[in-house]
Amino acid sequence: MPIYSHSRLGCFETCPLKYKFTYLDKIDRDTKGIEAFVGSRFHEVMEKLYKDLNCRTYSLEELLEIYNNNWAKEWTDDVVVTKKDRTAQDYKNIGKKCIEDYYKRYYPFNQGRTLGLERAIMMDLDGDGKHKLRGFIDRISQGDDGTYEIHDYKTSGYLPEQKHLDEDRQLALYQMGIENMWNDVKKTRLIWHYVAFDKELTSTRTKEQLEQLKKDTVALIDEVEQTEEFLPTESNLCEWCVYPDLCPKRKHLYKVEALPVNEYLKDDGVSLTNTFTKLVAKKRDCQGQIEEIEAEIDKVKEAVIQYAQKEGVEVIRGSDSKLKISEKQKVSSPPKGSPERKELEGILREVNKWDEVSDLDIYAMEKAVNELRWDKKIIDRIKQFLKIEVKRNVSLSKLQDKEK
Ligand code: SF4
């Protein structure tokens, strides 16, 4: 079993297919998002600041110079700016502002003693070396009261809510890691520096929460190990995915995006989609007329029923057609789980009619199989009795602005 990491598990949770490309097929891509690039430059500055703090305290100007030099040294054309309304310089300015705000907030950086920077930690989750997890802590420090602090720098433009931090897996796993590294870890504080917002957010974990997290993480690792089909899961994160050319959800968009108009229109997929779109629009145009006709039919139907009742007839003749008037009773049961439903079931049992009407809930069973809600062993066992057909549907939606 491989050694896992929080980001490896997170990748599986957001999109199993991306996970497969990254960690199983190991498809290497040179491109890197600008957001990650800024994050790396900020982390380098923080590492330098705290590493040399024992012998000197850098001025803000010196830190910004380190930042600018590293930016120029590391910059390549493979760094991708995804957001169309932003430039690389905009991101560079954000990084600079983050350093300036951090400096003002924490100068002279004497809040606790630094114990480790970019410190690697290894966790053995089940104690037998089977489920192992590795991570890197941005900074570990210890306050005057002996509390250990795990610091994580986030340059992201999204500020999470407290409840999400209280459930965050990454730093809680790191807490387990440092508890195994030193005997005197009695109290630990998890600290996130959301530097783009000049915010420090904190959280703590109880022993019970850590135990639960350990179990959940082992279960997640088992799920990853047992997965045979790695399906694509679309989300906002697709914008930053480096595999659009391989993903069935994005492949065609990616392929035609770069084509000049004359070639673009010749593409079979583009042409089929355009034809489909025109037909759906045509159908929509007719829909209004259809609704009017249907309303008129309903009125005439009502008149026909009244006529048949008045005349005492069940068939009415026209010039070259006839109308048959029939009645069919429709029975509806009270909803599942309702007290009325329970009462109804009780009566049917009492009068020995339950076996005649209690049938398998086909809908619920299909849902359980389709959505893999039951254990794989159960599904495999019942699969032999089921006829499983793959129904393919075609649905139409508008391209989003960012896809145009
Ligand atoms: S583009 Fe989206 S759905 Fe496709 S592999 Fe990447 S993250 Fe997954």
Task: Report the CATH number at residue 49.
Answer: 3.90.320.10
Substitution site in 11, 27, 243 for ligand 1 pocket (most atoms within 8 Å of beta carbon): 243
Domain boundary among 219, 240, 261: 240
The alpha carbon dihedral of 179, 183, 188, 192 has a sign of negative
Mean pLDDT of 177-191: 95
Mean pLDDT of 323-342: 83
- What's residue 337's pLDDT? 85
Domain boundary among 213, 240, 267: 240
For the cut 90, the answer to whether the pLDDT of residue 39 exceeds it is yes
Claim to verify: residue 223 and residue 366 sit in the same structural domain: no
- 376 CA to middle of ligand 1, Å? 25
- 231 CA to middle of ligand 1, Å? 9
Report if residue 40 sits inside a domain. yes
Mean pLDDT of 230-253: 94
For the cut 90, the answer to whether the pLDDT of residue 402 exceeds it is no
User: 11 lies in which domain range?
Assistant: 4-240
- CA 395 – CA 372 distance, rounded (Å): 24
Claim to verify: residue 234 and residue 111 sit in the same structural domain: yes
Claim to verify: residue 358 and residue 229 sit in the same structural domain: no
Substitution site in 11, 12, 15 for ligand 1 pocket (most atoms within 8 Å of beta carbon): 15
- What's residue 11's pLDDT? 97
Cβ partners under 8 Å of residue 267, min gap 6:
255, 256, 259
**Comparison of pLDDT for 84 and 102, the residue scoring more:** 102
Report if residue 395 sits inside a domain. no
Report if residue 317 sits inside a domain. no
Residue 359 is encoded by which pair of tokens?
A: 């049938």
Domain boundary among 240, 260, 286: 240
Mean pLDDT of 13-25: 97
Strand-pair partners of 80: 33
- What's residue 266's pLDDT? 87
Ligand 1 atom nearest the C-alpha of 15 is 8
Claim to verify: residue 96 and residue 220 sit in the same structural domain: yes
Substitution site in 250, 252, 403 for ligand 1 pocket (most atoms within 8 Å of beta carbon): 250
- 255 CA to middle of ligand 1, Å? 15
Mean pLDDT of 340-348: 85
Highest mean pLDDT among 103-107, 121-125, 303-307: 103-107
Mean pLDDT of 132-161: 96
Residues in the chain: 404
pLDDT > 70 fraction of the chain, expressed in percent and rounded? 99
Mean pLDDT of 124-128: 87
Report if residue 262 sits inside a domain. no
Report if residue 388 sits inside a domain. no
**Comparison of pLDDT for 392 and 59, the residue scoring more:** 59
Report if residue 363 sits inside a domain. yes
For ligand 1, atom 1: residue with the closest CA: 238
Ligand 1 atom nearest the C-alpha of 232 is 3
Ligand 1 atom nearest the C-alpha of 16 is 8
For ligand 1, atom 5: residue with the closest CA: 18
- What's residue 403's pLDDT? 67
Ligand 1 atom nearest the C-alpha of 18 is 5
Report if residue 252 sits inside a domain. no
pTM given for the model: 0.77
Claim to verify: residue 90 and residue 209 sit in the same structural domain: yes
pLDDT > 90 fraction of the chain, expressed in percent and rounded? 65
- 8 CA to middle of ligand 1, Å? 15
Mean pLDDT of 329-350: 83
Number of C-beta neighbours around residue 224 at 10 A: 21
- CA 153 – CA 161 distance, rounded (Å): 16
State the total domains in the chain: 2
Claim to verify: residue 23 and residue 148 sit in the same structural domain: yes
Claim to verify: residue 46 and residue 162 sit in the same structural domain: yes
Mean pLDDT of 254-265: 86
- 21 CA to middle of ligand 1, Å? 10
Ligand 1 atom nearest the C-alpha of 235 is 2
User: Confidence band (pLDDT; 50, 70, 90) for 384?
Assistant: confident
- CA 263 – CA 90 distance, rounded (Å): 34
For the cut 80, the answer to whether the pLDDT of residue 392 exceeds it is no
- 139 CA to middle of ligand 1, Å? 32
Averaged confidence pLDDT in the chain: 91
- 86 CA to middle of ligand 1, Å? 23
Cα angle 375-381-385, degrees, rounded to a multiple of 5:
125
Interstrand relation of 32-33 and 132-142 (parallel, antiparallel or unpaired):
unpaired
- 72 CA to middle of ligand 1, Å? 31
- What's residue 262's pLDDT? 83
Cβ partners under 8 Å of residue 169, min gap 6:
6, 9, 10, 213, 217
- 19 CA to middle of ligand 1, Å? 9
Mean pLDDT of 227-241: 93
Report if residue 403 sits inside a domain. no
- What's residue 303's pLDDT? 92
* Pocket (CB within 6 angstroms of ligand 1): 15, 17-18, 232-234, 237-238, 241, 243-244, 247, 249-250
Claim to verify: residue 366 and residue 235 sit in the same structural domain: no
Ligand 1 atom nearest the C-alpha of 21 is 5
For the cut 90, the answer to whether the pLDDT of residue 206 exceeds it is yes
Query: If DSSP codes are grouped into helix, strand and coil, which group holds residue 152?
Result: strand
